[in-house]
Structure 1
Amino acid sequence: MRKRVLFMLISMNVGGTERAFLNMLHELPEEDYDITVLLLEKKGGLYQELPQHVIVQEMKDFPHIGRQLSYNPKEKIKAHLSKRRYKQSLFLFVLHSYMKVTKDRRILFKNVFKKVPILEEKYDVAVAYAGPMDIITYYIANRVKAKEKYQWIHFDVKEIGFDHRFARRMYRLFNRIFVVSNTAANHLKEKLPTLSHKIDTQTNDIPALTITQLAEKEDVFPASSIIRIVTVARIMNEKGPDIAVKTLYELRKLGYNIQWHWVGEGQWISHIKEMIQEFELEDSFILEGSKSNPYPYIRQSDIYVQPSRHEGYCLTIAEARALKKPIVSTATAGAKEQIKHGETGLISEINEPELLRNIIKLIKNPDLRTKISEALQEENNKNSIPFHSKEWSAHYYSSSKKEALFNKMEKEKQCNKGSIYS
C-alpha cells in the first residue's frame, strides 16, 4: 500500500534546505508514496523543480498568522486603547504577561491558530522539514493528523536564536528529530537533554552523478588567467558575505588577480552592494544572482570558499566536494565534519585574516590544490559522501524495499565509478 507523506516547508526559494529536500524527493519511489508538499508561500526559484507527481498546497492562513505572531505587543495594545477596544487590549496584556511569567509561547500560538482548521487528510508520516521554524513545527504538531511525525533541523542551534523552552514542549509531540550533522545533533541534545532519545543525525542527500552532469551543461566563465573564487550561498549575515568582501579587498591590495563570484540572493544584498562600492571592488566581486543550476560556477572555480559564520551541514560544501574542487571554509559544524584539514580542504577560523591566509596558501601552492582534488576523487571513489541515510530510509522502506534499493545502488556504483553513493 502506498504511504501518504506530508512535507512542510517555508517556500521553494533557492537554498540548501530546499535543494536537500528536492534530492530526497527524487529518491522516494513514486510507486510507493503519495507525497504532499505544504508551503507557507507557493514561490521560489526551485518551485518548478518539484516533481509533477507531487501534490503542492499552500497554507492560506500564513499571511494572517505571520502578522499576528510578529506584532509588537506594546504597540498593539496602544492601538487598541486609542480606538477604545478595551477588551482586546486587556486580553493582549494578560496574554503577554502570562507568557512573560511562564516563558511559554504556546499560549500565543494557540490563540493565533484557534481559527486555523485541522487538515482533513490523514497521513502515514508528516514532516516539519524546514526547521527550526516555530510556525511549521506548531502546525504539524497540532493541525495535521499522522501516524508518525518528524521534525527536521537544518541549523546548528548553538549558533542561532533558538527558543529551547518552546522546542522542548513542542518536539516531544514528534516521533523523531533529524539533524543534518553530528555536531549540530549533539548541540541540540545539550539544549534538549530530555529528548535525546528522539534525536538522530540525517545528513543531506547528495546525488553526485546528477550534480556532475548539471555542472557540465554550460561554461559560465571565459578562459582567463584570473583566479576565480566561487561561493554559493544566500546573501545574509550567517553566510558571511561581508567577510568575503573584506577578504577580497586584502587579496587585491596584495596584488592578486582575483575575481570572487557570489551565487545567490538575500536580505543583505543592498548592504553588500554598498560594501563592494566602498572597497571599489565592482569589477572583482561579482554578484551573480540566484541560479537554479549553480554547478557550472563551482566546476569552473579555482577555489571554492565558504565564509559562513555558522552552518548545520552546508550542502554546497558537499557539492563542491562532489565536483572535486579545492575548498576553504570557515570552521562551522558542517565544515568540520566534511573536510579533513590539509587533506580534502582547508578550515579557517571565522575571521578575515585566517580566511585570507588559507586562500593565499592555496593560491601560492597549486600542488596542494591538485592534492586536495585528487584526495576528493579518491573519497568519491570510496563513496564516502553520504547519499541516503539508513536512519531515514528505515522509516520509509520495508525489508524488501530496502534490499531492492541496496541492489539498485550497488549496480549504480559499478556503472558510475565517479559517483559518490553510499
Structure 2
Amino acid sequence: MKKIRITIDNLAGGGAEKVLINLLQKLNRKYEIDLFLITKSGVYLKEVPSNVYIDYNFKALFSNHFIERIKNSLKARVKDKIYSLDKSFFYNLNKKKYDYEIAFLEGSSTEVVANSKNKYSKKIAWVHTDLLKHRTMDIEKERKLYSKFNEIICVSNHSKDSLLKLYPEYEDRTKVIYNIIDEEDVLIKSKEKVVLKKDKIILVTVGRLINAKGYDLLLNAINNLKNKNIDFKLLILGSGGQENVLKKYIEENKLQEYVELLGFKKNPYPYMRKADIFISSSRYEGFSLVVSEAMLLNKPIIATDCTGPKEILNDGEYGILVPLEDVNSLENAMESLILDKNKREVYSELSKRRKKIFNSENVLKKIEELLDGK
C-alpha cells in the first residue's frame, strides 16, 4: 500500500478544503494517507476519515485556567517564531518515508512540502486558483518552490494557462484534473428539509465572505434592483472577514427584505436546490466548486467571467457570464432571469446537459493513475 502525505493550511469552509475531504473519503481505503495541517482547525475536521492520521503545526490552545493560558501563549509564541524561520520545521519532525507528498493548496502548503527532507518521495502541488490574480509570495520565490515538484496539478485549463504564463518552464510537469465532486452525495444532501419561504424568486450564492468573492459588487447590483421595485430574495451562505461590512451595507441601504446572510452552512445543498437562480460574483477563482454543484442541481447560473466559471460555463454557452467588476451587467443578468421564467427554464436545461463533464469516476481514475505512476 503506497504511503501518501497531504498538506493543507487548515480545514476551514472553503472549496479546496471540501474537495480534499471528498478525495480522502474516496482514496483512504486504497492508500495509507497522513494529513498535515498547518493549523489544526476548521469545520471539516470531523469529516476526515478515522484511518487518516492527522499531524499539525499549530492548534487552538484554549484553557479556563490562568496559568495554562500563560503556558499556551508562550508555547504558541515559540512555535510562531520557529515557523517564521522555517515553515517546514515541524513538518520535517516526522521521519516516516512517503511515496508521495502533496501540497493541496498554493502558498504556505506548497512552501512546506517543497522543503521536505524526504528526498525519495514524489512531490505533487495542487493549484486551486488563478496565480496571475492571486499569489501569496513573490514570483521568484514561487518559481523556485515549484521547481521542486515532480507534478503540478491545476483544477482548470484556465488555471493552468495562468500558471504557465508565469512559469512556462514547467509546462512538461503541469496537467489539469478537475475537482472531484460526489454527485450522489450532493443530491442526497439536497433533499434535507429546510424552512424556506417561497413567495418570491429566490437567488442564492455560496462562499466565504471575503473580497475575492465580490459580494460588495453583488449587493450594489441588488440595491439597484430594489430601486426598480423588483420582488426577489437573495440568500448568502458563508462566513468570513467581510461579514460586518456586508451587514452594514444591507442596513444602510435598507436591503433586509431583499438579502439574508445565513452564515456558513455545512450542507448548503437544500438551499441551492430550492433556489431559482445561482450566482457567483467572484473576482477570481481556480475552478469554482459551488458553480459545479449548482449545475449538478440543474440551477440557472449567473457568474462573473473569471477562471473556473468561464470554463465550466464554456464561455457563456451553459450559463450567463458577466464582465468582472461590472455591477450593471450583473444587475441586468439577474433582472432578466428574475422576470423571465422561460429563460430560467432554458438555463436550467443547459445546466442539466453540461453537468455530464463532472464525472467523479473519471476524475478519481486520473488521480489514481497519478498516484500509481501511470
With the length of structure 1 as denominator, give the TM-score of the two structures: 0.79
Q: 2:50 aligns with which of 46, 49, 52?
A: 52
Alignment of 1:282-321 (within 5 A): 282-321=256-295
Alignment of 1:210-229 (within 5 A): 210-222=185-197, 224-229=198-203
Cα distance change, pair 379–205 in 1 and its aligned pair in 2 (3 A): same
The yes-or-no answer on 1:339 pairing with 2:313 is yes
The answer to whether the Cα contact below 8 Å between 1:219 and 1:296 also exists between their aligned partners in 2 is yes
Secondary structure of the equivalent of 1:255? coil
* C-alpha deviation, 1:283, in angstroms: 3.0
Could you list the per-position Cα deviations for residues 170-205 of structure 1 after superposition, in whole angstroms to 9, with x for gaps in the alignment? 111111011111011011011011222111112101
* C-alpha deviation, 1:397, in angstroms: 4.1
Could you list the per-position Cα deviations for residues 125-182 of structure 1 after superposition, in whole angstroms to 9, with x for gaps in the alignment? 1111121x1x322221223525211111111011113522111111111110111110
The answer to whether the Cα contact below 8 Å between 2:28 and 2:52 also exists between their aligned partners in 1 is no
Cα distance change, pair 255–115 in 1 and its aligned pair in 2 (3 A): closer
The answer to whether the Cα contact below 8 Å between 1:204 and 1:386 also exists between their aligned partners in 2 is no
Alpha-carbon distance in 1 for matches of 2:203, 2:232: 7
The answer to whether the Cα contact below 8 Å between 2:303 and 2:309 also exists between their aligned partners in 1 is yes
* C-alpha deviation, 1:120, in angstroms: 1.0
Alignment of 1:106-125 (within 5 A): 117-125=92-100
The answer to whether the Cα contact below 8 Å between 1:152 and 1:179 also exists between their aligned partners in 2 is yes
Alignment of 1:241-390 (within 5 A): 241-340=215-314, 343-350=317-324, 351-380=326-355, 383-387=356-360, 388-389=362-363
Cα distance change, pair 65–148 in 1 and its aligned pair in 2 (3 A): farther
Secondary structure of the equivalent of 1:41? strand
Corresponding residue number in structure 2 for 1:187: 162
Amino acid paired to 1:257: D
Alpha-carbon distance in 1 for matches of 2:12, 2:140: 29
Amino acid paired to 1:277: E
Could you list the per-position Cα deviations for residues 230-275 of structure 1 after superposition, in whole angstroms to 9, with x for gaps in the alignment? 0000000000111111111111111111111110001111111111
Cα distance change, pair 241–69 in 1 and its aligned pair in 2 (3 A): farther
Amino acid paired to 1:119: N
Alpha-carbon distance in 1 for matches of 2:195, 2:52: 32
The answer to whether the Cα contact below 8 Å between 1:220 and 1:297 also exists between their aligned partners in 2 is no
Corresponding residue number in structure 1 for 2:34: 36
* C-alpha deviation, 1:66, in angstroms: 8.3
The answer to whether the Cα contact below 8 Å between 1:41 and 1:59 also exists between their aligned partners in 2 is yes
CA RMSD of aligned residues (A): 2.3
* C-alpha deviation, 1:386, in angstroms: 4.2
The answer to whether the Cα contact below 8 Å between 2:88 and 2:113 also exists between their aligned partners in 1 is no
Alpha-carbon distance in 2 for matches of 1:308, 1:367: 26
Alpha-carbon distance in 2 for matches of 1:328, 1:52: 38
The yes-or-no answer on 1:396 pairing with 2:371 is yes
* C-alpha deviation, 1:9, in angstroms: 0.9
Corresponding residue number in structure 1 for 2:126: 152
Structure 1: gaps (5+ residues): 71-107, 400-422
Alpha-carbon distance in 2 for matches of 1:55, 1:214: 27
Cα distance change, pair 67–236 in 1 and its aligned pair in 2 (3 A): same
Cα distance change, pair 144–318 in 1 and its aligned pair in 2 (3 A): farther
The answer to whether the Cα contact below 8 Å between 2:82 and 2:89 also exists between their aligned partners in 1 is no
Rg bigger for which structure?
Answer: 1
Alpha-carbon distance in 2 for matches of 1:226, 1:298: 15
The yes-or-no answer on 1:22 pairing with 2:24 is no
The answer to whether the Cα contact below 8 Å between 1:128 and 1:152 also exists between their aligned partners in 2 is yes
Alpha-carbon distance in 1 for matches of 2:180, 2:199: 35
Identity value in percent:
26
Off by >6 Å, runs of 4+ in structure 1: none
Cα distance change, pair 394–250 in 1 and its aligned pair in 2 (3 A): same
The answer to whether the Cα contact below 8 Å between 1:8 and 1:136 also exists between their aligned partners in 2 is yes
Corresponding residue number in structure 1 for 2:72: none
Deviates more, 1:273-282 or 1:301-310: 273-282
Deviates more, 1:340-349 or 1:21-30: 340-349
Corresponding residue number in structure 2 for 1:174: 149
Amino acid paired to 1:10: D
Secondary structure of the equivalent of 2:331? helix
Alpha-carbon distance in 1 for matches of 2:292, 2:76: 35
* C-alpha deviation, 1:117, in angstroms: 4.5
The answer to whether the Cα contact below 8 Å between 2:56 and 2:91 also exists between their aligned partners in 1 is no
Deviates more, 1:49-58 or 1:120-129: 49-58
Alpha-carbon distance in 2 for matches of 1:375, 1:63: 51
Structure 2: gaps (5+ residues): 60-74
With the length of structure 2 as denominator, give the TM-score of the two structures: 0.88
Alpha-carbon distance in 1 for matches of 2:334, 2:113: 44
* C-alpha deviation, 1:118, in angstroms: 3.8
Alpha-carbon distance in 2 for matches of 1:65, 1:193: 39
Q: Number of residue pairs matched?
A: 354
* C-alpha deviation, 1:67, in angstroms: 4.7
Alpha-carbon distance in 2 for matches of 1:140, 1:13: 20
